[in-house]
Chain A
Amino acid sequence: MRRKRLVSLAAIAVLVLGLGACGGDDGGGTKEGDGEVTIFSLWGGSEEEAFKKVLTQFTQDTGIKTKYEAARDFLPVIRTRLNAGNPPEVGILPRPGFVDELARDDALISLEDLGLDVDKINENYGETWTDLATFEDTTYGVVAKANSKSTVWYKPNSFQQNGFQIPKTWDELNQIVKDYKSKGDVPWAVGAQGRDNSWTLTDWFEQIYVRTAGGDNYDKLFSGELAFNDPTVKEALGEMLKNVNDQYVLGGIDTALSISFQDGIARVFGTTPKAEMYMLGGFVGGIALGANPSLKPGTDIDFFPFPTIKEENGDPLVGSGDVAAAFVNNEDAAKLIEYLSTPAAGKIWVSTGAIVSPNKGVTEADYPNELVNKEAEQVKNAESFRFDGSDLLPGTLGQDFGTLLQKIIKTPGQMDSLLDDYQAEAEKAFS
């Protein structure tokens, strides 16, 4: 009796599955919007406020209302909503790697399909930036914001007191670290807890690797042509471990792995500081000032560019950016994407001091404070530019790279086997 029931249930199951499988996507043509566009990203705090200013102006200009949503688990939410047929109209993808993946599965609407003039939009950006939003020669989005990541944050008054000069080379920086330590100060704070903060370690690695192994190797490494257990990788890791270790990091590796990057920043620039320097991207300034508004840029907080390590590899800039792309093909989404690509939007955005705009139409005059201005200068004048490597990796490889580094700083002795394992995973992902 039961068996018969099971068999008939199974038959129904196959039927139902078959029915379920044919829920097609909306076919061609840009539809009319409903007067409101939903935008989804993982920004909160000051980034969110800055972005909302842009959205407000958009509404004023076009009359289209906006609804902003954010979640820390960007991918799971996007996936569930895609699966439920309920995606946000526009999403700000934190990694260009996502553009490839989502475009490959037809989840994104290309700029052309949205009815936009692709060439005109791409005029606003340099090629490096438009490449990020492109998959197989079709452009799917616009680079919404950018950040330099080749910045080391420090306290100028502390440097002055100790007689330190801004280090131009890696050796000089390492000397400052030793000097801080011998004076009883803690040179670094690191916040790399869990899945949400492991990317900060990838930033460390990338800055070092591009300077020790060179730009070409960097490109090869993050496109799968060079193995992750290559000696150049181990060399860069060695240099990284010279600083990210129990001796020089606040609370040791254990604490580094239990606090978020915002906490780490607070431990250097907060009201009860416990460490001296923080290695992370240009957005640290905004976060630090948010946590401790009494900081004076230039005296209490500033950054210097990441120093050179091997002279022949010079001073490349490693940066990152977010891509705004449309999930739904309607006019509201198209207009928003178009608006975000304009210099006008860029100007509003940077006036908040939160971001650097890759938009060619945005000039120095638009930046409100010296820190962001300095960062924008750095981006503009970079002798060579590389995009954040882990953000370029496909699938979950980028996230896993962060996890790999967490394990390496915790158990450096196992570096070789950990790299071998990761390389095996990478080979699969790139194939």
Chain B
Amino acid sequence: MATAEVTVQRPARTVSERMVGFLTKSPVHLTLILVAFIWLVPTVGLAITSVRVPADITGSSWWSSLLDWRYTLNNYDTVLSRANMDRSFVNSLIITIPSTLLPLTIASLAAYAFSWIRFPFRDTIFLMIVALMVVPIQMALVPLLRLFRDMGIANNYGGIWLAHTGFGLPLGIFLLRNFFITLPRDLIEAARVDGASNLKIFLRVVLPLSVPALASYAIFQFLWVWNDLLMALVFVQNSDLWPMTIRINQIQSQFGIEWHLLSAGAFLLMAVPLIVFFALQRYFVQGLLAGSVK
């Protein structure tokens, strides 16, 4: 950006000067065009394949189909009905929403305490919780299976909700506490002087002011759970409860590599994250940046 500004501020340039300017910058443009190519082609190729007639897919390449223009939405229909992706979509929602709201609630309560309530060992406990971010999910798979069995929730969603909540808490607490602590002290102090309880301060003062941070964490956690595969593999046992990430793997092997189904399925899988990305990019990036140690 700085470079562009500098050149603009100079007095009017001649045509040749401008051409020289462009040429010296053309390696930059070329590189970036190459980058855009590499980052777009794979996805675009799959997208086009998902709307092609199955017989065409193995016969001719996807870019040549741009000339034929023979497309169909059948694949999406088939994959939704025959491969049960429609149910899996709903399942993904059922898994993801509580797994986002629950940790959000618990983490914000805890983060508030770590920021604005004094109690013994506060900072030690906080550090220990943050340290738990190191624990990989693999450490919990077998023990939680046993635990969920004893709790009687092994054959429904209870297990995965609890597991995702547990593992989403360290990051949430870290993120939210770091934000809460930047809130103006006077506001909190004033509320306390007015006799407000901690709960009231939390609900009336802190939360409303923290919407960006809460949104960032919520979106980050939502996408994390939506895209998860491993936990679902272990904790969601009955096949009619499977989320999309598992379901799409089944398409992969039962029917060989049927690209017309796999590509459509992949795009259904990507639909929600892409929408979230385009609509709420800012919050997502923030969450990712702050969560750069998840």
Tell me the A residues contacting B by CB distance below 8 Å. 1, 20, 23, 44-45, 69-72, 76-77, 80-81, 83-86, 196, 259-263, 266, 270-272
Contact = CB atoms under 8 A, between A and B. Distances in A.
Contact of A71 (B59, B146, B239): B239
Contact of A84 (B148, B233, B256): B148
Given A76-B233, A84-B154, A69 B238 contact: yes
B7 interface: no
Given A44-B255, A84-B145, A77 B237 contact: yes
A72 B145 CA distance: 21
A23 to B, nearest CB: 7
A83 B257 contact: no
B254 A44 contact: yes
Given A70-B250, A77-B237, A85-B149, 4 more contacts: A44-B253, A70-B254, A80-B234, A84-B154
A77 B233 CA distance: 8
Given A69-B239, A70-B250, A84-B148, A262 B255 contact: yes
B35 to A, nearest CB: 28
B146 A260 contact: no
Contact of A20 (B55, B150, B233): B150
B98 to A, nearest CB: 20
8 contacts: A45-B255, A69-B240, A83-B142, A83-B145, A83-B149, A86-B237, A259-B257, A260-B256
B281 interface: no
Given A77-B237, A272-B59, A20 B146 contact: yes
Interface in B149-173: 149-150, 154-155, 159
A263 B257 contact: yes
B154 A86 contact: yes
B142 A72 contact: no
A164 to B, nearest CB: 27
Interface of B: 55, 58-59, 124, 142, 145-150, 154-155, 159, 233-234, 237-240, 249-250, 252-257
A86 B149 contact: yes
B255 A84 contact: no
A85 B250 CA distance: 24
State the main secondary structure of chain B at its contact with A. Answer: helix
Contacts of A84: 145-146, 148-149, 154-155, 159, 237
A263 B57 CA distance: 13
Contacts of A69: 238-240
Given A23-B146, A85-B149, A86-B154, A71 B255 contact: no
B253 A80 contact: no
A20 B147 CA distance: 8
A305 B212 CA distance: 70
A214 B245 CA distance: 47
A20 B257 CA distance: 42
Given A262-B255, A263-B257, A72 B237 contact: no
Nearest to A67: B240
A272 B58 CA distance: 8
Cβ-closest 4 pairs across A and B: A262-B256, A44-B254, A84-B154, A69-B239
Question: In this complex, which of A1, A20, A83 has the most chain B Cβ atoms within 10 angstroms of its Cβ?
Answer: A83
A72 B256 contact: no
A76 B256 CA distance: 20
B237 A266 contact: no
A322 B6 CA distance: 75
A71 B250 CA distance: 7
Contacts of A81: 154, 237
Contacts of B159: 84
A86 B155 contact: yes
Nearest to A47: B254
A218 to B, nearest CB: 30
Nearest to A193: B257
Contacts of A263: 256-257
Contacts of B257: 259-260, 262-263
B125 to A, nearest CB: 11
Contacts of B146: 20, 23, 83-84
A20 B142 CA distance: 12
Contact of A85 (B124, B154, B254, B256): B154
A153 to B, nearest CB: 16
Contacts of B238: 69, 86
A246 to B, nearest CB: 22
Contacts of B250: 44, 70-72
Contacts of A85: 149, 154
A196 B145 contact: no
Contacts of B255: 44-45, 262
A80 B59 contact: no
Contacts of A80: 145, 234, 237
A84 B145 CA distance: 5
A259 B249 CA distance: 16
Nearest to A83: B145
A293 to B, nearest CB: 12
Nearest to A270: B58
